[in-house]
Amino acid sequence: MKRNVTLTITTIITIFLASCGDTNKKQETKMNTEAEIADTSFSDGMTGKVFQNYQQVRIALVNSDAEEVNMAAGNLAENLTGQREEMKSMALAMADTKDIEKQRELFSQFTEKVEPLFKESISEGAIYKQFCPMAFEGKGGYWISNAEEIRNPYYGEKMLKCGKVTETIKK
């Protein structure tokens, strides 16, 4: 009986590690916060600024840097204009908390709201909708990236490369 339990646990751990890569490897996660935004253009200046700020928040989450998230999310909120009060409120909430897990949860909610804006406003280049199936206790989480390479904002170095591109958005 004890052997069956051990075998089951070992199998679960193996499946978990295989689904998102070997988490035991030492991986370099620190990404440049001044990362060059891919050759992507948007039809209006506000969306371009929001996309750039969104990428800064994403990178800060990849780096598990709550203070950098605060700064980038504050800038994001400042650049949201017009009928974007709900998104602005989410960005301000990210800027106001030091809890990295809460920031990640808010980022996921923000992504859901901002995705249509990015899709309808992209005028040149490509962006990537990405998904981690392990995020939020197995419910999964999406994000939009300026690079095809996976850098998971929901786990940082714990599971840096966990995820996949689910859609390439381009014009």
Assess if residue 30 is contained within a domain. Answer: no
pLDDT value of residue 36 = 44
Give the pLDDT score at 83: 82
Distances (CA, A) of 5 to 18, 56, 88, 170: 20, 44, 49, 48
Whether residue 6 lies inside any domain: the answer is no
pLDDT for 7: 42
pLDDT score of 1: 55
Using an 8 Å Cβ cutoff, are 151 and 160 in contact?
A: yes
- Whether residue 14 lies inside any domain: the answer is no
Output the pLDDT for position 98: 97
Q: What phi and psi, each to the nearest 5 degrees, are found at residue 107?
A: -60, -40
* Residue 27 domain flag: no
Looking at 44-163, which runs of residues are DSSP E strands? 122-124, 126-132, 141-145
Q: What is the pLDDT of residue 39?
A: 76
In a domain, 96, yes or no: yes
Q: Which residue has the tokens 């995020």?
A: 135
Domain count, the chain: 1
Does any domain span residue 37?
no
Q: How, if at all, do strands 141-145 and 126-132 pair?
A: antiparallel
In a domain, residue 40? The reply is no
Domain with 124, as residue range(s), is: 45-170
162 in a structural domain: yes
The one-digit pLDDT tens for each residue of the chain (171 residues) are 554 444 444 444 344 444 454 443 333 434 443 344 557 899 999 999 999 999 999 999 999 999 999 999 999 999 998 889 999 999 999 999 999 999 999 999 999 999 999 999 999 999 999 999 999 999 999 999 999 999 999 999 999 999 999 999 998
